[in-house]
Structure 1
């Protein structure tokens, strides 16, 4: 967990994890595909990632930034 910075509620994180793992796709989900990410895999190394979850009206519901400074 050291070096990891996250600003999200648990429910938002669960929606993101389930999307990445192919379990389901949240409504109006968008993310920056030019940023590498490894979530739902057996790894502790994450690259900086930003993704937006929109509500049904199209407004930004939550902005989440995830970074892991772990090296090695």
Structure 2
């Protein structure tokens, strides 16, 4: 026996509507979490890539050292 009665046995149509709305809100919440996780992952990849290659933002001292004497 399910702890939640089905609308067929109770005759209450608002039960199904409530759980449909609850299910939709749950899906929207999961979508927001997935979007935030994706954005964090993208930012992490960009930051780690910029730390690995120092040629992205050379310092002024490196540019002066590269000039011919």
Interval of TM-score (by shorter of Structure 1 and Structure 2): under 0.3
* TM-score, normalising length: structure 1: 0.21
Higher strand share: 1
TM value normalised by structure 2:
0.21
Q: Which has the higher contact order (CA 8 A, sep 6+)?
A: 1
